[in-house]
Amino acid sequence: GCVPANVVDNVTGLTALVGAEKAESIVKATGFSTRRVAAEGADVIDLALPAAKCALEGTGPMDIGGIVAVSFSSRDRFPALSARLQHALGLDTSIAAYDISMACSGWVYGLCAAAQMVRLTGKKVLLVDGDVQSAWTDRSDANTLAVMGDGASATLLAPGDGVWDFA
């Protein structure tokens, strides 16, 4: 995974909006005392690429049968995040690379899609999920601001003897 270096304390950040008592109440209710926030102008690929490189350590580009990228906050709609990652990682252009535009439940949908791709290709498939939510969050809405952070993860799925059942 990859998260921005900037850590925001939620009590401090929310106090200016709603006062100290309400800020502490929101933090207690959500369980989020801090959140990570990307630098102004950062895009999801800035977090997704380092996570993907880490997941692919020790794996050759020819071992990859596909890439699934999940995000709702990619600044650039074209080319797709998956295609930009495919290019930046030096993966073969003949492999499937596509995006799923989702937020919270996106990793689960991506996992199902990537697992099916592993079955079809018999090769490893890279699942990348990330968002820079801070760029899209209303900074005056204390109820959502406290839970919207930035980050990315990468999961490398590999064929094996196990059975993946998503029924």
DSSP string, 36-86: E-PPTT--HHHHHHHHHHHHTTT--GGGEEEEEEE-S--S--SS-HHHHHH
% of residues, the chain, pLDDT over 90: 89
> What pTM, to 2 d.p., does this model score?
0.93
Q: What is the per-residue pLDDT for 75?
A: 85
pLDDT beyond 90 at 98: yes
Reference 146, options 31, 51, 53, 49; nearest CA is: 31
Q: What is the per-residue pLDDT for 143?
A: 83
For 22, the enclosing helix (H) or strand (E) is: helix 20-30
